[in-house]
């Protein structure tokens, strides 16, 4: 679930070839996804989409969990939204928040072409000004929240995720390794510091249990964190 370029071109090429090999074996070719990526590129959107195997991973998580209510923070062109919306039952709903109107417009076209807009509540605007409305609009809490937006705001997104989830819900954060820069405590990159604070908050929070996985592939070297809201109420 990464978008970073690795300086080792030869190694990156191998990672991409392995991705292609695994995807060919495990993920059937689907023109809907190819059309979405092409539309994103033609519209000039950054190529920060998850890879096919990562999209499938998200889809499987939703299916394993039996999720019907999903929140995505960071839509981009809707590629990951398509993967997740397909995992939902007909009555399911995914709320996806995108700060850039142009990106949201492309995402809506992609989701309409995929025949999935009836499952998607696509909201445009900064997530931190949009999230408060969800508490009123969606009294039933979310089964899974996927955080894939501006990294400096990740700690704030986590605070909202904890308000909008129930015991057993999953919170997934993307792009947490940053080509290894996450270990640089004195980094001047606000994205790195946002991720570091995000991980520290998850690791120290009494309501969460979590792990993180490093990933390599066609999009470079990165990783994601997956946290579960604990079932047992925490007593202080």
| Residues written for the chain | 236
The C-alpha torsion from 228 through 232 and 234 to 235, rounded to 10°, is -170
Q: What is the DSSP letter of 76?
A: T
59: confidence class by pLDDT, cuts 50, 70, 90? very high
Interval 91-115 mean pLDDT: 98
Is a pLDDT exceeding 90 seen at residue 232? no
Q: What are the structure tokens assigned to 9, written together?
A: 């071109």
Q: What are the structure tokens assigned to 143, written together?
A: 């089964």
How high does pLDDT run on average in the chain?
A: 94
Q: CB neighbours of 214 closer than 8 A, spacing ≥ 6?
A: 177, 221, 222, 223
30: confidence class by pLDDT, cuts 50, 70, 90? very high
Measured distance CA(43)–CA(37) in Å, rounded: 10
> Under the phi-then-psi rule, with left for phi > 0, alpha for psi from -120 to 50, and beta for the rest, what region is 69?
beta
Please report the pLDDT score of residue 105 as a whole number. Answer: 98
Going by DSSP bridges, is the β-strand pair 208-217/220-229 parallel, antiparallel, or unpaired?
Answer: antiparallel
- H/E element holding 128? helix 127-137
Please report the pLDDT score of residue 219 as a whole number. Answer: 87
Interval 224-228 mean pLDDT: 98
């Amino acid at each position: 679930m990464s978008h970073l370029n690795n300086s080792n071109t030869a190694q990156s090429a191998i990672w991409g070839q392995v991705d292609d090999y695994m995807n060919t074996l495990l993920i059937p070719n689907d023109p809907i996804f190819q059309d979405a990526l092409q539309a994103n590129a033609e519209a000039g959107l950054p190529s920060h989409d998850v890879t096919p195997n990562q999209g499938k991973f998200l889809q499987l998580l939703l299916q394993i969990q039996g999720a019907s209510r999903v929140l995505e923070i960071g839509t981009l062109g809707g590629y990951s939204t398509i993967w997740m919306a397909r995992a939902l039952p007909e009555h399911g709903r995914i709320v996806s928040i995108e700060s850039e109107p142009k990106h949201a417009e492309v995402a809506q076209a992609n989701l309409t072409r995929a025949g999935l807009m009836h499952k998607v509540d696509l909201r445009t605007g900064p997530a931190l000004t949009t999230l408060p409305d969800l508490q009123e609009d969606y009294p039933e809490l979310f089964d899974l929240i996927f955080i894939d937006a501006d990294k400096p705001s990740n700690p704030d997104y986590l605070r909202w995720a904890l308000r909008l989830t129930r015991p057993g819900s999953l919170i997934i954060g993307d792009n947490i390794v940053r080509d290894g820069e996450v270990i640089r405590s004195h980094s001047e990159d606000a994205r790195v510091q946002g991720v570091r604070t995000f991980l520290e908050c998850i690791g120290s929070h009494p309501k969460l249990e979590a792990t993180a996985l490093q990933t390599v592939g066609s999009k470079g070297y990165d990783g994601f964190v997956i946290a579960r809201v604990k079932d047992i109420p925490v007593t202080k």
